[in-house]
């Protein structure tokens, strides 16, 4: 799979000479606050598309009137017009248990609400768009059956792989059965849904190849992971009291699993060598099962307005994931800011970075502890990794670069459907 469409494909500039491409972009989540990797990635792509002046974007997503008023300025940076529908109130897990009986994966069932279906159908029936983009494979449940023309699915992960990895790391037999059952449903849904799109956007070459290998998909195209280089400006890594940070939505199971593993198995090894070391976990909705344990040296911030204010004093940025898919935009944000990164193989998966040059790779509790301690102790190593990583991200992974490739895939989809 190549990063960009074939040379024969019509370029974005050629389409722009005729007119702006009319794009409907359907997201199953409101993109603000940008407190999760998928929201950040989508926001960066939309911002880059709009800044190019080559696309006329209508964004559709759930949103309350209050959310629209509060975030109108940010919404305007992403699109020409916004159409929202009333979101469903969140439900406790026990109320969602009947959804386990559905033929659809449980996280897909939640997105197909009557309000969402009606809003999307109304807009797509009333106006002709050159291409309709569905954000996340989950959003495919909102696609009208009779939709004609170019369609694109923006996949942020290989969802089946995430479910399968949860099954492998589950703590007991009932959980393993549950995750395995959901993985089978997701594989069927993912394969059938993606086959209906003109083009599928993957967030790494690895993911594009996985879709081809597992599902026989020939329409997947990869984009680079893009980060806002102006917002995440570089500064040299911090000295001072030993501080380790992690950022990520703490209501996502993969992050919870990774932090629980780090706190239980890695952190005691670090504290044995550095009794004054601190671990700061930055992210919304950390579960009580973690926050109420009061582990020495570990703090959970919950949601923060600006992640930069909470990470600048760290000597090590850890990504201890054992489960996950797609790519971790948090890695490139950290690298853009100059934070030295230590990550598991899964945590850095899909990103074109080199161990020892741009980050330190460490799998297993002992290796993660050793790498964390090494970064804290070695200022020269921190600065070397910091400079090399920022140079890499600057040259190849700015959000405008990613948006340009995304835009070319939209044009390719329009040409293919014609």
Residue pLDDT, tens place only, 199-250:
999 998 889 999 999 888 999 999 988 888 888 999 999 999 999 999 999 9
Residue with tokens 């492998």: 168
Q: Where are the beta strands (DSSP E) in 269-417?
A: 278-282, 298-302, 316-319, 341-343, 360-361
pLDDT tens digits for range 99-133: 787 888 888 888 889 999 999 999 999 999 999 99
pLDDT at 326 over 70: no
Res 153: pLDDT: 97
pLDDT at 281 over 70: yes
129 is written with which tokens?
A: 């768009």
d(CA 67, CA 171): 38
Closest-CA residue to 233 (of 366, 390, 78): 390
- Say which residues have a Cβ less than 8 Å from residue 31's Cβ, sequence separation at least 6: 39, 42, 43, 46, 59, 61, 78
Surface-to-core class of residue 16, CB atoms within 10 Å of its CB (0-12 exposed, 13-18 middle, 19+ buried): middle
d(CA 106, CA 93): 11
Closest-CA residue to 334 (of 324, 215, 353): 353
This prediction's pTM: 0.76
d(CA 113, CA 141): 9
Please spell the DSSP secondary structure of 208-254, one letter per residue.
Answer: HHHHHHHH--S-EEE----B-TTTS---PPP-SS-EEEEES-TTSHH
Domains contained in the chain, CATH given: 12-226+398-417 (3.40.50.2000), 243-396 (3.40.50.2000)
Confidence of residue 5 (pLDDT cuts 50, 70, 90): very low
- Say which residues have a Cβ less than 8 Å from residue 219's Cβ, sequence separation at least 6: 194, 197, 198, 199, 200
352 is written with which tokens?
A: 């074109």
Residue with tokens 């940010």: 74
43 is written with which tokens?
A: 């926001």
DSSP 262: I
Confidence of residue 8 (pLDDT cuts 50, 70, 90): very low
d(CA 208, CA 50): 25
Please give the backbone phi and psi of residue 52, each rounded to the nearest 5 degrees, phi first.
-70, -20
pLDDT at 327 over 60: yes
d(CA 270, CA 169): 23
Q: In what order do the strands lie in the sheet with 243-247?
A: 298-302, 278-282, 243-247, 316-319, 341-343, 360-361
Checking DSSP bridges between strand 360-361 and strand 341-343, what pairing results, if any?
A: parallel
pLDDT tens digits for range 245-269: 999 999 888 999 999 999 999 999 9
Least confident of 2-11, 98-107, 191-200, 337-346: 2-11
Res 14: pLDDT: 46
Q: What is the mean pLDDT of the chain?
A: 91
pLDDT tens digits for range 12-33: 444 444 568 999 999 999 999 9
């Amino acid at each position: 799979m190549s990063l960009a469409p074939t040379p024969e494909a019509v370029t974005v500039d050629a389409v722009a000479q005729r007119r702006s491409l009319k794009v409907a972009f359907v997201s199953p989540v409101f993109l603000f606050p940008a407190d999760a990797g998928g929201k950040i990635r989508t926001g960066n792509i939309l911002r880059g598309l709009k800044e190019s002046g080559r696309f006329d974007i209508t964004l559709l997503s759930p949103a309350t009137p209050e959310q629209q008023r509060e975030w109108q300025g940010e919404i305007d940076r992403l699109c020409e017009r916004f159409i929202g529908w009333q979101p469903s109130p969140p439900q406790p897990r026990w109320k969602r248990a009947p959804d386990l009986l559905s033929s659809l994966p449980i996280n897909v069932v939640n997105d197909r609400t009557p309000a969402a279906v009606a809003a999307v159908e109304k807009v797509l029936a009333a106006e002709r768009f050159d291409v309709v983009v569905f954000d996340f494979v989950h959003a495919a449940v909102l696609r009208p059956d009779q939709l004609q023309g170019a369609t694109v699915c923006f996949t942020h992960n290989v969802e089946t792989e995430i479910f399968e990895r949860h099954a492998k790391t589950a703590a007991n037999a009932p959980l393993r059965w549950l995750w395995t059952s959901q993985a089978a449903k997701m594989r069927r849904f993912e394969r059938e849904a993606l086959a209906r799109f003109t083009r599928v956007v993957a967030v790494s070459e690895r993911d594009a190849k996985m879709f081809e290998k597992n599902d026989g998909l020939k329409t997947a195209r990869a984009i680079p992971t893009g980060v806002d280089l102006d917002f995440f400006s570089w500064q040299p890594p911090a000295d001072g009291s030993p501080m380790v940070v992690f950022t990520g939505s703490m209501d996502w199971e993969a992050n919870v699993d990774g932090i629980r593993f780090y706190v239980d198995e890695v952190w005691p090894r670090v504290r044995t060598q550095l009794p004054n070391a601190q671990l700061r976990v930055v992210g919304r909705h950390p579960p009580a099962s973690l926050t109420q344990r009061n582990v020495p040296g570990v703090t959970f911030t919950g949601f923060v307005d600006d992640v930069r204010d909470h990470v600048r004093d760290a000597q090590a940025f850890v990504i201890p994931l054992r489960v996950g898919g797609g790519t971790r935009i948090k890695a490139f944000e950290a690298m853009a800011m100059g934070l030295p990164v230590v990550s598991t193989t899964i945590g850095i998966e899909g990103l074109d970075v080199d161990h020892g040059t741009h980050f330190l790779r460490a799998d297993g509790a002992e290796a993660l502890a050793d790498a964390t301690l090494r970064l804290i102790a070695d200022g020269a190593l921190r600065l070397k990794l910091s400079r090399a990583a920022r140079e890499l991200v600057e040259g190849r992974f700015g959000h405008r670069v990613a948006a340009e490739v995304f835009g070319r895939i939209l044009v390719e989809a329009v040409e293919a459907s014609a």
